[in-house]
Structure 1
């Protein structure tokens, strides 16, 4: 066969692999996602925005909140010193009406922002005030 006519397989990108994993497994298996990605592409997840974006989309779009929270939690496990990820996890919990977990994660985001340029701190502070001043917030 002429090599120019051979079909070439285009490898999936990380986002596609995450969605494949989500379709194949329940959210309780999210901890295994990191190894799955590493086995598929030969390297660890190193872009914090991918899990953040997919996780928040799953929650805010009403698609799969279990997977959304699982991805946001996984992101904080993989990158525990990134306050922006804790802020996003707080957002996820707030969207789900879980004020206590939202509060805890916004506080963690602020703690991590004390020693860095904190582009997420304003949001975390605003959301903590919102939670405190609205006891009936869903």
Structure 2
């Protein structure tokens, strides 16, 4: 489900809000659409109810991607239409484990990707993933 920006009704930007993914934990939207693009905000390994998925970077990666899938679907896209992702990891030494889980989720789709090690992530998670996708339904 998308909701329009509070404006004069002519904007092509719409905010995404879905209960199938955790709510934003700050002053931002789960995602936005603009024309035929869907921008999913960084997704943490939280369940839809906001509880944290504890465990390995692989387990957290899979939950973050499940959340991405929910946000993308609410915006009219899917994992299959992802153009670009950015993966933020707390420890680059976990790259291989994260990469294996990521590959399992995306399969042969293999969008363009950047992976960046960061000092700290919200809720002290191990991974956060954002995406840009092509919108397949208007």
TM-score between the two structures when normalised by the length of structure 2 = 0.31
Which structure carries more relative contact order (alpha carbon 8 Å, separation 6+)?
2
Structure having the higher Rg: 1
- Which of the pair is proportionally richer in helix? 1
- Which of the pair is proportionally richer in strand? 2
TM-score between the two structures when normalised by the length of structure 1 = 0.31
